[in-house]
C-alpha cells in the first residue's frame, strides 16, 4: 500500500483560556491515504474544526505527531507552515471567505498567482460550472455560487489535499448537493485527498471512510464499501 | 483604539497649543503695550526741527484737537565708551528743569533722574546699560556738538517711545551700539547753543481729534522753523515695529490654529465612523435591549470628550510653555518694564470650546449614523459593499487582473471615493503644513541672502549728523581701512498715488553704485534708471502704482515742493519701504549742490580699529552701522523669533502627519482584518499580506504629495502675504528641497505607521476569522 498522506499519533490540542483548560483534542490517531475522501462527523464541540485546522496548518497541536507525507507538521515553523498551506492545501469554509472587492475570476487568480503549478483561473471556474459568472462580484452571486467559487479557488492550485469545514452549512439542501457534487468532481479529477466536515449524516455516503468524532477523539471509523454519487443523495 | 485616540488627542493638543501660544503671546504684548502707552503718556504726533523757541508750544497747544504738547531738545551724537572699539551713537533727549517730562515719560529702572543743574549726569536706556553692564555711577563719553564730554550715569530708564530702539542706519535694535541718553535741559541746551529753544515736539490728541488735521496745522506752525513734516505713531519707528510684530503674531494666530481644528474634525470623524461601524452589532443589540438613542450617542460622545479633554489639557500646558518662550524672546528686543505671558482664562476657554466644537462636528456625523439605524438592521453586519467594475467601459487591463492585490486596492479606493479623497486630502494637508513651516524658516535665510549679500554689500554705513557737501565722500574714502566709498543722500518724502500716501525716505545714489545695489523683482542687480524713481515693489503694491505710473512726491526738506515723478523701476527689498533715484537728479530736484547724508564703505578688516578711532574724532559723524553686527543682531533677535515659531509649527505639523497617516493605516487594517486573515490562510506570506495592506497607504501617501505641494505653496503664499508689512517682508522663494524634505517627513511618518501596523498582521487570528460570517 502507498504511504499515507497524513499520519497522526496522539495528537492533542489544549486551549488554556484563563484558568479553564479546554482539551479540544485528546490524543487523536489516524491515517489518510492518497486520493481518499473522508467525511468527519460528530456533535458540536467534539473537535472536528480544531482537528481540520491543525491538519491544514492554520493551527498548531499541543502535543503529538502529525506527518504530511514525510514532513512532520508539528515541527514546522510559521514560515514553512505558510509554504505548506500555499503549495499543498486547498481550503473551503462554511462562510466562503471570498474577497468582496474581487470578481469570481480574480478571487481564483489571487491563489493561482502565488502557486507553482496552477490551472488557469478560467478553467478552474469552468470545472465547477461558473464560466458564465466569472466577472461577478461575490455580492452578486448566490451563497451556493459563492461556495463554488471558493471551491474553484481551493482547487485551482491543484492541491494535494482539500479541506472543507461545513461547506454546505450555510446552504439549502438542493444547493448543498450541487456544491458537494462539484467538490467531489474536481477532487476525483485531480485525485485530491479530501476531508469534509459536516453535520449532515447523509453526506457520509459519498466518502471512502467516515471518522466519527466525540469528546476530542475519533470514536469510530467506518469504511463504505461503495461510494454514492452526490446526485443520488437525499436529504 | 488606544493609539488612535492618542493621535487625535495630540492633534487637538497641537491646535490648542498653537492657539494659546500665538493668541496668548499676541495679547500679552498688545495689552502690555497699551497699558505702558497709557501710563507713561506716549505721544500721538511727533515733529522735529532744527530750532524753535519754546514759546511755540503755546501755539501748538492751541491747535484744535491737541490735548497736550511737550517740547524738548533731541540730538544724535557719537558715544565713546572705554574698552569699546566700535563707535556707538546716542540719541540725546532733554529732561525738563523741573520734574518729569509731560509726555513720553520715563520708567526708572535703576538710580534716579539727573540733578537738573548737573553738566554731566544722565539717564541712559536700560538696554544699553544692560549690554555694557553699566550701573548708576559708571561713566562714558560723548561728542556733543564737536566737544567731548564725560558723562555720569545717574540712572537707567525705559520709555514708551523706545520700546524698540533702533540706531541711525540700523534695521534691528543694537543695545551695544545705540543708546537713548536723557540729559538735563540746561546742559544739553548749552552744548548745542539752544537755550530757551527746542528741536522736537510731541503731542497727544483729544479723543475725537483728526490726526491728519493736527499734523497739517502743526506743519504750518513749524514751517517757519524749518520743521520737517510731523508724523503720527504709524511712522514712529518703535511703534511701527511693535505694530508689525503684533500684526505678524495676530496673523499667525488666525492662520495656523484653524488648520489644526480642521484636521481635528477630520480625524475624529474618520476614527469614530470606523469605531461605530465595527460596533454596529453591539449598537443594534443595545437598542434591541431598550437602550435609548441618547444613551448610545452619549456613549460615543463621552469617548470623544475624554480624548478632547486630554488634548485640551496637554495643549494648554504645552501652549503656555511655548507662549512663555515666545514672549520671553520678544522681551529680548522689545524693551518693556515688564512683559509676562498673560494666562487669560478666556483664551484657554476659547481653545477648549473650539476643540470641542471641532471634535463634536467630526463626531456628529458618525454618531448620527449609529443612532438612525433601526436595531434589527444594526444587528446584522453591514451589507457588503456593491463593487463597481473599475472603469467599466475599458477592457479589463490584463496587468490588473494579474495583480489581485492592486485590484483590491483600486476597488477599495474607488468604492469609497469620499473617504479616499478625504484621507488623501488629510495627508496632503499635513504635507502642506510642513511646507509652510519649513518655508518660513527658509525664508529668513533667503531674506538675509538677498538683503545682505546681494543688495547691501557694504561693510558699514557712516552716517552724518547733518547733510555734508559732496566731497565728504572723498574724505571718508581717505579714512584708514576704507577700500571703497559711495555717497548716499537721503531725504524724507511723502509719496502719493491716488488717495494713498506714505512717508518714506528717498535716497539718491550713484547710478553705478556697486556696494549697495538695487535688486529687481527677478532678484537680479539692476542699474538705477537715469530719471524717475525706483521704489520698493511692496510700496508700489501699497500705492497701487506700476512702472510707468506717475506719483506725487512732497519733498520734506529744503523748499518743500511737491513734484510729480514717474516710477521707473521696482526694487525687491524686505526691510522697510523706500524710494531711490539717481543722486544728480535728486540734487536737481532739491535745487541744491550735490550733498551726502551717509557713506557706504567697504573695509579692510585688519584696519577697522584705526578707522573707529578716526571716526570717533570726527564730529560730523552721527553713527556707524556695521553689516556684520546688523546681521548678527538680526539673527539673534527677529530671526530667532520667526524660526522658533516655524520650528514649533514644523513639529506640530509632523504630529498632524503622524496622526493622519497612522490613523488611516490602522483603520484600513481593522477594516480588512478578515480579508487579510483569509489571505494568510490561503498561503500568502506575512510579507505578501503586509504588502497588500500597505499598498493603499503607500498609494494614498504618494498621490497626496503633489496636491500637498500645491497647497503648501498656496499656504506659504498666504503666510508670506499675511506676514508682510511695510517694515518687513519675507521673500516668496520656495526651494525644491523644501518639497523634498516635507514629503520625506510624511513618507517617514507613513513608513513608521506602516511598521507599527504591519506588526499587527502577525497577530491576526486566522482561526477566529473562519468561525464568523462577513
Ligand atoms: N480559541 C478557543 N479557545 C478556547 N476553546 C476553544 C477555542 N476554539 C475551540 N475551543 C473549544 O474546543 C472544542 C472543540 O471546538 P471545535 O471548534 O473544534 O468543535 P467542532 O467539532 O468544530 O464543533 P462545531 O460542529 O460546532 O463546529 C470546543 O469545546 C470549543 O469550545
Ligand atoms: Mg466546527
Could A111 and B682 be called an inter-chain contact, meaning their C-beta atoms sit closer than 8 Å? yes
CB atoms closer than 10 angstroms to residue A220:
12
Which residues have C-beta within 8 Å of that of residue B299, sequence separation ≥ 6? none
Which has more pLDDT, B282 or B96? Answer: B96
Which residues have C-beta within 8 Å of that of residue B495, sequence separation ≥ 6? B501, B502, B503, B504, B506, B535, B539, B543, B551, B552, B553, B579
Q: Is A234 exposed, middle or buried (0-12, 13-18, 19+ CB in 10 A)?
A: exposed
Arithmetic mean of pLDDT over chain A: 87
Which has more pLDDT, B671 or B95? Answer: B95
**Once rounded to an integer, what is the mean pLDDT over residues A184-211?**
88
List the residue whose alpha carbon is closest to atom 25 of ligand 1.
A44
Distance from the B421 Cα atom to the nearest Cα atom in chain A, whole angstroms? 19
Per-residue pLDDT band at B400 (split at 50, 70, 90): very low
Which has more pLDDT, B229 or B543? Answer: B543
Contacts of B407 in chain A (CB under 8 A): 101-102, 106
| SS3 (DSSP) at B249 | helix
Residue-wise pLDDT for B492-506, tens only, equals: 899 999 999 998 999
Mutate which: B383, B415, B681, B682, vs A, most A CBs within 10 A:
B682
Distance from the A234 Cα atom to the nearest Cα atom in chain B, whole angstroms? 27
Fold of the A6-232 domain: Rossmann fold (3.40.50)
Which has more pLDDT, B89 or B370? Answer: B89
Of A79, A106, A139, the CB nearest to B386: A139
Per-residue pLDDT band at A1 (split at 50, 70, 90): low
With an 8 Å Cβ cutoff, the interface of chain A facing chain B consists of: 49, 53, 58-59, 79, 82-83, 85-87, 89, 91, 93-95, 97, 99-103, 105-107, 109-111, 113-115, 135, 137-140, 153, 165
- Comparing CA positions, the residue from B361, B352, B354, B362 lying closest to residue B317 is B352
Largest CA distance in chain A: 53
Q: How far apart are CA A181 and CA B165, in angstroms?
A: 95
List the residue whose alpha carbon is closest to atom 4 of ligand 1.
A15
Residue B251 has pLDDT above 90, yes or no: no
Contacts of A120 in chain B (CB under 8 A): none
Answer yes or no: are the C-beta atoms of B435 and B712 closer than 8 Å: yes
| SS3 (DSSP) at B209 | coil
Which helix (H) or strand (E) segment holds residue B509: the answer is strand B500-509
Which ligand ends up closest to the CA of A20? 1
Q: Cell 516635507 belongs to which residue?
A: B742
- How does DSSP assign B384-427, residue by residue? PP-PPPTTTTSPPPHHHHT-HHHHHHHHHHHH-HHHHHHHHHHH
- Secondary structure letter of residue A206 according to DSSP: G
Residue B159 has pLDDT above 70, yes or no: yes
Domains along the sequence of chain B with CATH: 43-240 (no CATH), 416-455+627-774 (no CATH), 482-603 (2.40.40)
Site to probe by mutation for ligand 1, drawn from A20, A40, A41, A47 as the one with most ligand atoms within 8 Å of Cβ, is A47
pLDDT at position B378 is 60
Query: Of the given ranges (A159-168, B195-204, B462-471, B719-728), which has the lowest mean pLDDT?
Result: B719-728
Of A53, A59, A82, the CB nearest to B683: A82
Of B675, B767, B771, the CB nearest to A99: B675
Answer yes or no: are the C-beta atoms of B168 and B88 closer than 8 Å: no
Mutate which: A59, A78, A97, vs B, most B CBs within 10 A:
A97
Could A82 and B685 be called an inter-chain contact, meaning their C-beta atoms sit closer than 8 Å? yes
**Highest-confidence segment of A15-29, B130-144, B273-287, B448-462:** B130-144
Task: Give the residue from chain A lying closest to B386, CA to CA.
Answer: A139
Contacts of B383 in chain A (CB under 8 A): 139
Distance from the A99 Cα atom to the nearest Cα atom in chain B, whole angstroms? 6
Per-residue pLDDT band at B656 (split at 50, 70, 90): confident
Mutate which: B384, B409, B413, B683, vs A, most A CBs within 10 A:
B683
Question: B688's torsion region: left (phi>0), alpha (psi -120 to 50) or beta?
Answer: alpha
pLDDT at position B382 is 56
Of B401, B678, B773, the CB nearest to A105: B401
pLDDT at position B300 is 84
Contacts of B687 in chain A (CB under 8 A): none
Distance from the A224 Cα atom to the nearest Cα atom in chain B, whole angstroms? 30
Could B404 and A58 be called an inter-chain contact, meaning their C-beta atoms sit closer than 8 Å? no
pLDDT at position B644 is 78
Could A99 and B386 be called an inter-chain contact, meaning their C-beta atoms sit closer than 8 Å? no
**Once rounded to an integer, what is the mean pLDDT over residues B204-229?**
89
Which residues line ligand 1 at a C-beta cut-off of 6 Å?
A: A 15, 17, 22, 24, 42, 44-50
CB atoms closer than 10 angstroms to residue B450:
18
Q: How far apart are CA B451 and CA B457, in angstroms?
A: 8
List the residue whose alpha carbon is closest to atom 16 of ligand 1.
A47
Could A102 and B411 be called an inter-chain contact, meaning their C-beta atoms sit closer than 8 Å? yes
Could B681 and A137 be called an inter-chain contact, meaning their C-beta atoms sit closer than 8 Å? no
Contacts of A87 in chain B (CB under 8 A): 683
Contacts of A111 in chain B (CB under 8 A): 682-683
CA of A147 to the centre of ligand 1 (A): 23
Q: How far apart are CA B60 and CA B44, in angstroms?
A: 14
Residue-wise pLDDT for A138-183, tens only, equals: 888 888 889 889 989 998 988 999 999 888 887 787 878 888 888 8
Indicate which atom in ligand 1 lies nearest the CA of residue B768.
1
Indicate which atom in ligand 1 lies nearest the CA of residue A213.
21
Contacts of B399 in chain A (CB under 8 A): none
Arithmetic mean of pLDDT over chain B: 85
Could A58 and B681 be called an inter-chain contact, meaning their C-beta atoms sit closer than 8 Å? yes
CB atoms closer than 10 angstroms to residue B303:
18
Contacts of B403 in chain A (CB under 8 A): 113
Site to probe by mutation for ligand 1, drawn from A16, A21, A45 as the one with most ligand atoms within 8 Å of Cβ, is A45
Percent of chain B with pLDDT over 70: 95
Of B401, B681, B774, the CB nearest to A109: B401
CA of A33 to the centre of ligand 2 (A): 23
Could B404 and A99 be called an inter-chain contact, meaning their C-beta atoms sit closer than 8 Å? yes
CB atoms closer than 10 angstroms to residue A92:
25
**Once rounded to an integer, what is the mean pLDDT over residues A202-210?**
87
Which has more pLDDT, B628 or B278? Answer: B628
Which has more pLDDT, B616 or B109? Answer: B109
Residue B275 has pLDDT above 80, yes or no: no
Could A86 and B684 be called an inter-chain contact, meaning their C-beta atoms sit closer than 8 Å? yes
Which ligand ends up closest to the CA of A23? 1
Residue A201 has pLDDT above 90, yes or no: no
Residue-wise pLDDT for B687-738, tens only, equals: 888 888 888 888 889 999 999 999 999 988 888 888 788 888 888 888 889 9
pLDDT at position B393 is 46
Could B407 and A59 be called an inter-chain contact, meaning their C-beta atoms sit closer than 8 Å? no
Indicate which atom in ligand 1 lies nearest the CA of residue A15.
4
**Highest-confidence segment of A35-49, B321-335, B690-704:** A35-49
> At CB < 8 A and 24+ separation, what contacts does A104-107 make?
A104/A130, A104/A133, A104/A134, A104/A135, A104/A136, A104/A137, A104/A138, A104/A141, A104/A149, A104/A152, A105/A134, A105/A135, A105/B401, A106/B401, A106/B404, A106/B407, A107/A138, A107/A149, A107/A150, A107/A153, A107/B404
Distance from the A29 Cα atom to the nearest Cα atom in chain B, whole angstroms? 22
Of A106, A107, A114, the CB nearest to B683: A114
**Once rounded to an integer, what is the mean pLDDT over residues B505-524?**
86
Answer yes or no: are the C-beta atoms of B258 and B16 closer than 8 Å: no
CA of A180 to the centre of ligand 1 (A): 24
Domain map of chain A by residue range? 6-232
Residue B394 has pLDDT above 70, yes or no: no
| DSSP β-ladder status, B500-509 and B482-497 | antiparallel
CA of B768 to the centre of ligand 1 (A): 11
**Highest-confidence segment of A87-101, B416-430, B531-545:** B531-545
pLDDT at position B203 is 95
Contacts of A107 in chain B (CB under 8 A): 404
Site to probe by mutation for ligand 1, drawn from A17, A46, A201 as the one with most ligand atoms within 8 Å of Cβ, is A46
Amino acid at each position: 500500500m502507498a504511504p499515507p498522506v497524513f499520519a497522526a499519533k496522539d495528537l492533542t490540542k489544549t486551549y488554556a483560556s484563563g484558568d479553564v483548560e479546554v482539551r479540544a483534542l485528546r490524543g487523536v490517531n489516524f491515517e489518510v491515504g492518497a486520493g481518499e475522501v473522508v467525511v468527519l462527523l460528530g456533535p458540536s464541540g467534539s473537535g472536528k474544526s480544531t482537528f481540520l485546522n491543525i491538519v491544514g496548518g492554520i493551527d498548531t497541536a499541543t502535543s503529538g505527531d502529525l506527518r504530511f507525507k514525510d514532513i512532520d507538521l508539528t515541527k514546522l515553523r510559521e514560515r514553512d507552515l505558510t509554504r505548506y498551506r500555499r503549495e499543498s492545501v486547498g481550503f473551503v469554509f462554511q462562510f466562503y471567505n471570498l474577497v468582496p472587492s474581487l470578481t469570481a475570476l480574480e478571487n481564483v487568480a489571487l491563489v493561482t498567482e502565488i502557486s507553482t503549478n496552477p490551472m488557469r483561473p478560467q478553467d478552474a471556474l469552468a470545472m465547477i460550472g461558473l464560466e458564465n459568472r466569472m466577472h461577478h462580484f461575490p455580492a452578486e452571486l448566490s451563497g451556493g455560487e459563492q461556495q463554488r467559487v471558493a471551491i474553484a479557488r481551493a482547487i485551482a492550485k491543484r492541491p494535494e489535499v482539500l479541506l472543507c469545514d461545513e461547506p454546505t452549512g450555510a446552504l439549502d439542501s438542493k444547493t448543498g448537493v450541487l456544491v458537494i457534487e462539484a467538490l467531489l468532481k474536481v477532487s476525483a479529477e485531480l485525485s485530491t485527498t479530501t476531508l469534509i466536515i459536516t453535520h449532515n449524516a447523509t453526506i457520509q455516503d459519498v466518502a471512502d471512510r467516515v471518522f466519527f468524532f466525540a469528546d476530542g477523539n475519533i470514536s469510530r471509523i467506518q469504511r463504505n464499501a461503495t461510494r454514492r454519487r452526490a446526485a443520488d443523495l437525499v436529504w | 483604539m488606544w493609539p488612535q485616540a492618542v493621535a487625535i488627542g495630540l492633534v487637538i493638543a497641537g491646535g490648542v497649543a498653537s492657539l494659546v501660544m500665538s493668541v496668548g503671546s499676541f495679547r500679552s504684548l498688545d495689552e502690555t503695550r497699551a497699558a505702558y502707552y497709557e501710563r507713561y503718556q506716549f505721544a500721538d504726533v511727533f515733529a522735529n526741527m532744527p530750532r524753535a523757541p519754546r514759546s511755540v508750544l503755546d501755539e501748538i497747544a492751541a491747535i484744535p484737537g491737541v490735548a497736550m504738547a511737550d517740547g524738548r531738545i533731541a540730538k544724535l551724537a557719537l558715544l565713546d565708551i572705554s574698552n569699546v572699539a566700535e563707535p556707538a551713537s546716542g540719541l540725546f533727549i532733554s529732561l525738563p528743569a523741573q520734574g518729569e517730562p509731560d509726555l513720553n515719560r520715563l520708567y526708572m529702572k535703576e538710580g534716579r533722574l539727573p540733578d537738573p543743574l548737573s553738566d554731566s549726569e544722565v539717564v541712559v536706556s536700560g538696554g544699553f546699560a544692560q549690554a555694557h553692564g553699566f550701573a548708576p555711577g559708571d561713566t562714558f563719553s560723548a561728542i556733543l556738538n564737536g566737544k567731548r564730554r564725560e558723562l555720569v550715569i545717574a540712572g537707567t530708564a525705559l520709555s514708551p517711545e523706545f520700546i524698540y530702539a533702533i540706531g541711525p542706519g540700523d534695521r534691528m535694535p543694537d543695545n551695544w551700539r545705540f543708546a537713548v541718553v536723557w540729559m538735563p535741559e540746561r546742559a544739553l541746551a548749552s552744548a548745542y547753543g539752544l537755550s530757551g529753544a527746542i528741536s522736537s515736539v510731541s503731542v497727544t490728541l483729544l479723543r475725537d481729534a483728526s490726526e491728519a488735521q493736527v499734523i497739517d496745522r502743526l506743519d504750518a506752525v513749524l514751517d517757519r522753523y524749518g520743521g520737517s513734516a510731523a508724523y503720527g505713531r504709524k511712522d514712529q519707528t518703535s511703534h511701527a515695529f511693535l505694530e508689525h510684530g503684533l500684526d505678524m503674531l495676530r496673523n499667525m494666530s488666525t492662520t495656523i490654529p484653524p488648520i489644526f481644528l480642521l484636521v481635528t474634525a477630520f480625524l475624529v470623524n474618520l476614527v469614530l465612523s470606523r469605531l461605530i461601524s465595527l460596533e454596529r452589532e453591539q449598537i443594534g443589540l443595545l437598542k434591541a435591549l431598550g437602550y435609548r438613542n441618547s444613551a448610545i450617542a452619549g456613549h460615543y460622545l463621552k469617548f470623544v470628550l475624554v480624548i478632547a479633554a486630554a488634548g485640551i489639557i496637554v495643549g494648554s500646558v504645552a501652549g503656555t510653555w511655548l507662549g512663555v518662550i515666545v514672549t520671553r524672546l520678544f522681551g529680548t528686543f522689545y524693551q518693556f518694564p515688564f512683559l509676562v505671558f498673560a494666562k487669560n482664562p478666556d483664551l484657554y476657554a476659547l481653545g477648549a470650546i473650539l476643540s470641542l466644537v471641532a471634535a463634536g462636528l467630526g463626531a456628529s456625523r458618525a454618531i448620527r449614523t449609529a443612532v438612525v439605524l433601526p436595531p434589527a438592521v444594526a444587528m446584522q453586519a453591514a451589507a457588503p459593499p456593491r463593487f463597481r467594475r473599475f472603469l467599466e467601459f475599458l477592457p479589463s487591463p490584463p496587468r490588473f487582473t494579474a495583480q489581485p492585490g492592486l485590484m483590491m486596492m483600486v476597488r477599495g479606493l474607488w468604492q469609497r471615493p469620499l473617504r479616499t479623497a478625504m484621507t488623501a486630502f488629510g495627508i496632503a494637508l499635513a504635507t502642506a503644513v510642513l511646507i509652510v513651516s519649513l518655508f518660513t524658516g527658509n525664508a529668513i535665510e533667503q531674506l538675509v541672502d538677498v538683503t545682505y549679500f546681494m543688495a547691501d554689500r557694504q561693510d558699514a554705513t557712516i552716517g552724518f549728523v547733518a547733510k555734508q557737501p559732496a566731497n565728504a565722500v572723498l574724505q571718508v574714502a581717505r579714512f584708514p581701512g576704507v577700500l571703497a566709498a559711495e555717497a548716499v543722500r537721503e531725504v524724507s518724502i511723502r509719496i502719493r498715488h491716488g488717495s494713498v500716501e506714505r512717508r518714506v525716505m528717498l535716497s539718491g545714489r550713484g547710478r553705478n553704485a556697486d556696494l549697495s545695489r538695487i535688486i529687481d523683482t527677478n532678484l537680479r542687480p539692476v542699474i538705477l534708471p537715469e530719471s524717475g524713481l525706483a521704489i520698493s515693489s511692496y510700496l508700489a503694491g501699497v500705492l497701487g502704482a506700476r512702472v510707468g505710473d506717475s506719483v506725487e512726491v512732497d519733498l520734506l526738506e529744503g523748499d518743500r515742493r511737491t513734484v510729480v515723478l514717474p516710477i521707473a523701476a521696482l526694487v525687491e527689498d524686505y526691510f522697510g519701504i523706500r524710494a531711490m533715484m539717481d543722486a544728480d537728479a535728486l540734487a536737481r530736484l532739491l535745487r541744491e549742490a550735490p550733498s551726502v547724508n551717509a557713506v557706504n564703505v567697504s573695509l579692510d578688516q585688519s584696519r577697522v580699529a584705526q578707522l573707529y578711532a578716526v571716526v570717533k574724532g570726527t564730529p560730523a559723524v552721527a553713527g556707524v552701522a556695521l553689516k556684520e553686527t546688523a546681521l548678527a543682531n538680526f539673527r539673534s533677535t527677529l530671526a530667532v523669533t520667526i524660526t522658533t515659531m516655524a520650528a514649533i509649527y514644523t513639529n506640530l505639523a509632523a504630529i498632524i502627519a503622524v496622526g493622519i497617516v497612522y490613523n488611516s493605516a490602522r483603520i484600513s487594517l481593522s477594516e480588512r482584518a478578515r480579508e487579510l486573515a483569509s489571505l494568510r490562510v490561503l498561503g500568502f506570506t506575512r510579507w505578501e499580506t503586509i504588502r497588500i495592506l500597505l499598498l493603499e497607504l503607500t498609494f494614498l501617501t504618494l498621490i497626496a504629495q503633489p496636491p500637498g505641494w500645491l497647497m503648501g505653496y498656496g499656504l506659504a503664499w498666504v503666510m508670506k502675504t499675511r506676514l508682510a508689512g511695510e517694515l518687513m517682508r519675507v521673500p516668496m522663494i520656495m526651494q525644491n528641497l523644501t518639497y523634498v524634505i516635507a514629503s520625506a517627513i510624511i513618507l517617514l511618518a507613513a513608513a513608521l505607521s506602516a511598521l507599527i501596523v504591519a506588526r499587527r498582521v502577525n497577530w491576526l487570528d486566522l482561526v477566529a476569522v473562519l468561525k464568523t460570517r462577513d
